[in-house]
């Protein structure tokens, strides 16, 4: 059941382009997915190390600092890689999406200490500026990691620079007409976010005490709608098959519009970097009686998390990475569990392929079958009841086998009538 509420809410709706959620990956996920090591990001959007980034406002990353505060080397020695990571909005210390990708690079550098990384943050927040940020630095690096849907247009840049290897996260490259393309020097990975969202929906529906649950998103890009639809699928599955009685709550004034102009409902802040609006939405949902909130909204989610921390008997479900450390407060942790998207390990793997000369471009969709999605079930990193974990593991095994196919933005499934429901 879905409840849409018309509420007059105020907030700044800035459209900062990035995709993701928030937190720190530690511990094992159900279905065999294991979150990689990472530094925790705080509720204010900061991350351990406070990685300084080069501005991409028409310039290059010259003079950028590393996460440890030192100046990035101009040229690595021998066969080491000179790497750049380009992100938008909240940057690589967002405690979530971009930071998880950055952690994959850091893991590679730990094993290959002559390699270097320069974080580059595109400040303007639009697709053209994101692509230009890559064009501005392409001549200076061996490998460039591009974080988010807004970098799909790097196709021609890659084709014009065949010796540079690109790792494109959360989208596939497109040609000038917007059609999906495959490029020899771009490894593009997208994820079945709906699978992690499905786990979040199961957890919310099985653990709610008020009977009201919600999902908060950033911008209605396909990756974010996937999380939303997956969450709704999980709630509906738990209601039908697992004895739950959870109601999905939506605020009509924050309904999302996807890339095809379709109203997808939900609770969208229209930004991945607006903590103030995130807090407004969180408070409004809590006022409506919601006690389980799943958030896929990048740094905007930090505002939702603040609202949860200031409330009583309300829990937050993290996204992309393990957010448990971000949920600490004097009255006890507010993180119920976290949905996982294993980006860091996949980024690290591709950097090793580049180093070893075995890199192969292509477009890849990663999910439970490659241990690239899941949820946090490790002791001490979640607060789920044992019976909830058992039910979630059994349902997720069906996702992994294909018996259950949670709805996504463009997979032909619907949250109200998906395969396996």
Pairing of strands 165-169, 186-191: parallel
Short-list 410, 19, 396, CA closest to 200: 396
User: Do 291 and 348 sit in the same domain of this protein?
Assistant: no
- For the record, the structure tokens of 349 come out as 């793997």
Beta pairing, strands 335-341 & 373-375: antiparallel
Residues 303-339 pLDDT 10s: 999 999 999 999 999 999 999 999 999 999 999 999 9
Residue 413: inside a domain: no
DSSP state of 162: T
How far apart (Å, rounded) are the C-alpha atoms in residues 329 and 313?
A: 13
**Which pLDDT value is given to residue 413?**
98
Residue 373 in 3-state DSSP? strand
Q: Which CATH number is 392's domain given?
A: 3.40.50.2300
- Give the E-state strand segments of 13-55 in sequence order: 54-55
Is residue 309 domain-shared with residue 254, that is, in the same domain?
A: yes
pLDDT at residue 159, rounded to an integer: 98
Helix and strand numbers (H, E) in the chain are 9, 16
Tokens matching residue 150: 């807004």
The pTM of the full predicted model, rounded to 2 decimals, is 0.79
Distance from C-alpha of 351 to C-alpha of 370, rounded to nearest angstrom: 18
* 40 in the same domain as 156: yes
**Spatial contact of 118 and 136, defined as CB atoms under 8 Å apart:** no
Q: 380: number of CA atoms within 13 Å, CB side?
A: 2
What's the domain range around 177?
Answer: 34-192+344-366
Tell me, yes or no, whether 412 lies in a domain.
Answer: no
> Do 100 and 205 have their domain in common?
no
Residue with tokens 């529906």: 205
Mark whether 253 and 397 lie in a shared domain.
yes
Q: 386 and 244 in one domain?
A: yes
Measured distance CA(301)–CA(360) in Å, rounded: 35
Interaxial angle between packed helices 222-241 and 193-207, expressed in degrees from 0 to 180 and rounded to the nearest 10: 40
Domains identified in the chain, total number = 2
* Domain identity same for 178 and 249: no
Task: Provide DSSP, 239-270.
Answer: HHHS----EEEEEGGG-EE-TTS-EEES-B-S
Strand-pair partners of 417? none
User: Which residues of the chain fall short of a pLDDT of 70?
Assistant: 1, 3, 5-78, 90, 125
């Amino acid at each position: 059941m879905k409840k849409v509420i018309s509420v007059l809410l105020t907030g700044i709706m800035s459209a900062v382009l990035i995709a993701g959620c928030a937190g720190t990956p530690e511990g094992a996920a159900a279905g065999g997915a294991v979150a990689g090591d990472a530094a925790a990001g705080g509720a204010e959007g900061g991350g351990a190390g406070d990685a300084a980034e080069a501005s991409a406002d028409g310039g290059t990353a010259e003079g950028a600092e590393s996460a440890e505060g030192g100046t990035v080397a101009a040229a690595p020695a021998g066969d080491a890689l000179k790497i750049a990571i380009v992100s938008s909005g909240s940057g690589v210390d967002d405690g979530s999406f971009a930071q998880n990708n950055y952690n994959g690079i850091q893991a590679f550098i730990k094993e290959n200490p002559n390699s270097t990384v320069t974080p580059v943050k595109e400040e303007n927040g639009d697709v053209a500026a994101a692509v230009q940020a890559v064009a501005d630095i392409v001549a200076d690096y061996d490998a460039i990691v591009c974080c988010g849907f807004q970098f799909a247009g790097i196709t021609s840049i890659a084709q014009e620079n065949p010796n540079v290897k690109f790792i494109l996260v959360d989208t596939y490259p497109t040609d000038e007409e917007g059609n999906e393309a495959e490029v020899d020097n771009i490894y593009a990975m997208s994820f079945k976010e709906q699978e992690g969202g499905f786990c979040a929906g199961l957890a919310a529906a099985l653990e709610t005490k008020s009977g009201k649950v919600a999902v908060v998103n950033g911008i209605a890009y396909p990756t974010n709608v996937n999380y939303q639809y997956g969450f709704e699928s999980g709630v509906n599955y738990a209601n039908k098959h697992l004895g739950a009685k959870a109601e999905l709550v939506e605020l009509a004034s924050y309904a999302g519009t996807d890339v095809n102009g379709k109203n997808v409902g939900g609770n969208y802040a229209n930004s991945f970097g607006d903590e103030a609006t995130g807090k407004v939405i969180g408070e409004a949902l809590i006022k409506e009686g919601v006690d389980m909130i799943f958030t896929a909204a990048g740094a905007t989610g930090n505002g939702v998390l603040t609202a949860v921390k200031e409330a009583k008997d309300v829990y937050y479900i993290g996204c992309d990475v393990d957010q448990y450390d971000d949920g600490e407060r004097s009255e006890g942790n507010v993180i119920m569990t976290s949905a996982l998207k294993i980006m860091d390990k996949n980024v690290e793997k591709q950097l090793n392929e580049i180093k070893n000369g075995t890199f192969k471009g292509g477009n890849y969709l990663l999910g439970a079958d490659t241990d690239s999605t899941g949820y946090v079930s490790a002791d001490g990193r979640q607060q789920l009841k044992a019976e909830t974990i058992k039910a979630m593991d059994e349902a997720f095994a069906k996702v992994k086998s294909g018996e259950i196919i949670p709805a996504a933005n463009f997979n032909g499934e619907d949250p109200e009538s998906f395969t396996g429901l």
